[in-house]
Amino acid sequence: MKFSLQLSALALLNTALGATLHGRTGPQFDKGQPDNGAGKGGPLLGGTNKQIDIDNQDNLGRQSTDNGIVPNLKWRFSDSKVRLFYGGWLREQVIQDLPQSHDISAAQQHLDKGGIRELHWHRVAEWGFVYAGSVRISVVDEFGRYQVETLNYGDIWYFPKGVAHTVQGLEDENEFLLVFDDADFDKIGTTFNVDDWVAHTPRDVIAKNFGLDPAIFDKVPNPNPNILNGTVSTKNVTGGPAGELIGDASFVYRTLQHDPEPVPGNGGTFYKIDSTNFPASKTLAATYVTLKPGGLRELHWHPNAEEWLYFHKGEARATVFIGNAASRTFDFSAGDTAAFPDNSGHYIENTSETEDLVWIEIYKSDRVADISLTQWLALTPADLVAQTLKIPIEVAEQLQKEKQVLLP
Ligand X SMILES: *[C@@H]1O[C@H](CO)[C@@H](O)[C@H](O)[C@H]1NC(C)=O
Distance of alpha carbon 156 from alpha carbon 170, whole angstroms: 16
Question: Closest separation between CB of residue 47 and ligand X, Å?
Answer: 29
SS3 of residue 253 by DSSP: strand
Asked if residue 32 lies in contact with residue 44, where contact means CB atoms within 8 angstroms, the answer is: yes
Pick the closer one to ligand X by CB: 196 or 349: 349
Part of the chain binding ligand X (CB under 6 A), chosen from 32-40, 56-64, 343-351, 358-366:
343-351
By CB under 6 A, tell whether 64 contacts ligand X.
no
Of residues 95, 116, 104, 247, the one with CA closest to residue 169: 116
SS3 of residue 120 by DSSP: strand
Distance of alpha carbon 336 from alpha carbon 75, whole angstroms: 6
Catalytic (active site) residue 175: no
Question: Closest separation between CB of residue 186 and ligand X, Å?
Answer: 26
Position among 230, 260, 279, 335 found at the interface with ligand X (CB under 6 A): 230
Pick the closer one to ligand X by CB: 348 or 368: 348
Instruction: Name the residue type at position 268.
Output: G
Residue 126 counted as an annotated binding residue: yes
Residue 346 counted as an annotated binding residue: yes
Q: How many residues bind ligand X (CB under 6 A)?
A: 12
Distance of alpha carbon 318 from alpha carbon 320, whole angstroms: 6
By CB under 6 A, tell whether 274 contacts ligand X.
no
The Cβ-side half-sphere exposure at 401, using a 13 Å CA radius, reads 6
> How do strand 116-122 and strand 126-132 relate by DSSP bridges?
unpaired
Part of the chain binding ligand X (CB under 6 A), chosen from 94-102, 230-238, 304-312, 322-330:
230-238
The Cβ-side half-sphere exposure at 186, using a 13 Å CA radius, reads 10
Angle in degrees, CA 104, 107, 113, rounded to 5: 150
CB atoms within 10 A of CB 15: 15
Position among 293, 313, 367, 373 found at the interface with ligand X (CB under 6 A): 293
Part of the chain binding ligand X (CB under 6 A), chosen from 305-313, 345-353, 384-392, 399-407:
345-353
By CB under 6 A, tell whether 233 contacts ligand X.
no
Distance of alpha carbon 363 from alpha carbon 235, whole angstroms: 36
By CB under 6 A, tell whether 304 contacts ligand X.
no
Give the CB-nearest residue to ligand X.
Answer: 294
SS3 of residue 41 by DSSP: strand
Question: Closest separation between CB of residue 230 and ligand X, Å?
Answer: 5
Cis peptide upstream of residue 303 (ω within 30 degrees of 0): no
Pick the closer one to ligand X by CB: 229 or 275: 229
The Cβ-side half-sphere exposure at 222, using a 13 Å CA radius, reads 10
By CB under 6 A, tell whether 229 contacts ligand X.
yes
Pick the closer one to ligand X by CB: 58 or 342: 58
By CB under 6 A, tell whether 353 contacts ligand X.
yes
261, 361, 394, 397: which is the annotated catalytic residue?
361
Question: Which positions lie near ligand X, rule CB under 6 A?
Answer: 86, 229-231, 234, 236, 293-294, 349-351, 353
Annotated binding site for Mn(2+): 120, 122, 126, 165, 300, 302, 307, 346
Please identify every residue annotated as catalytic: 361
Annotated binding site: 120, 122, 126, 165, 300, 302, 307, 346
